[in-house]
A and B are shown apart, each in its own frame.
Chain A
Amino acid sequence: EIVMTQSPATLSVSPGERATLSCRASQSVSTKLAWYQQKPGQAPRLLINGASTRATGIPARFSGSGSGTEFTLTINSLQSEDFAVYYCQQYDKWPTFGQGTKVEIK
């Protein structure tokens, strides 16, 4: 099983600022990495696949980067609707998710 580790667990950010979330894989997953956003009481929503490809309808302020074992999700100019929990998921082997990073209002 590939273990995905996200950091930090909680990120406090002011609206309009940038948030940088990290995800590390226990072994290389190439660029087989997706990011999801989950709001309370809702299902996860796909943001990024292939480590850096935004899903349909996702605003340009969301960007993903990285390959191998180190990945980053950057949210520029945080909007009120962006405060949520974010998960990374690898699909190089059978899918595993990180434990999530909660982005909260500072």
Chain B
Amino acid sequence: EVQLVQSGAEVKKPGESLKISCQGSGYSFTTYWIAWVRQMPGKGLEWMGIIHPGNSDIRYNPSFQGQVTISADKSISTAYIHWSSLKASDAAMYFCARQAYPSEFYSYNWFDRWGQGTLVTVSS
């Protein structure tokens, strides 16, 4: 069974760093692109960026470029998103999602599997 399992909820203070994870199983992790999607409280979905775990090719939504860092460790089938200095406005639910169809080269696509979400709370 294809699964994406995310790390647990986090409570952080403004200015702190954070890295959350998304571990894939049940499929060839290195052949499917993994995206990160933000959902602020009571709001819709925003695509933040995407990584190919096999070759570490990364694309960012311009709105999130420089604000987060996406990475992956293919040896443990895990993708990450990292903040070096959290802001209160980073408080949200974050989902990882597998882009449909394996491909070495990036092309826009839909998302066929989602992680359960990681809730990030940022408060002083």
Contacts and interface: CB of A to CB of B under 8 A. Distances in A.
B117 A92 contact: no
A46 interface: yes
Given A46-B110, A92-B108, A100 B115 contact: no
A34 B95 contact: no
B114 A100 contact: no
Interface in B47-96: 47, 59, 61, 95
A43 B116 contact: yes
A72 interface: no
A32 B45 contact: no
A70 B43 CA distance: 22
B1 interface: no
B124 interface: no
A66 to B, nearest CB: 15
A95 B108 contact: yes
| Interface residue range, chain B | 20 to 34
Given A95-B47, A97-B47, A43 B108 contact: no
B9 interface: no
A20 interface: no
A36 B113 CA distance: 11
Interface residues of A, number: 22
Interface string B23-44: 0000000000001000000011
A91 B114 contact: no
Nearest to A45: B114
Interface of A: 32, 34, 36, 42-46, 49, 55, 87, 89, 91-100
In the A-B complex, the 10 residue pairs with the closest CB atoms: A34-B110, A43-B114, A91-B108, A97-B45, A95-B47, A99-B44, A49-B110, A100-B44, A91-B109, A46-B112
29 contacts: A32-B108, A34-B110, A34-B111, A42-B116, A43-B95, A43-B97, A43-B115, A43-B116, A43-B117, A44-B45, A44-B95, A46-B110, A46-B112, A49-B100, A49-B110, A87-B44, A89-B45, A91-B109, A91-B110, A93-B108, A94-B47, A94-B108, A95-B35, A95-B47, A95-B108, A97-B46, A98-B44, A99-B43, A99-B44
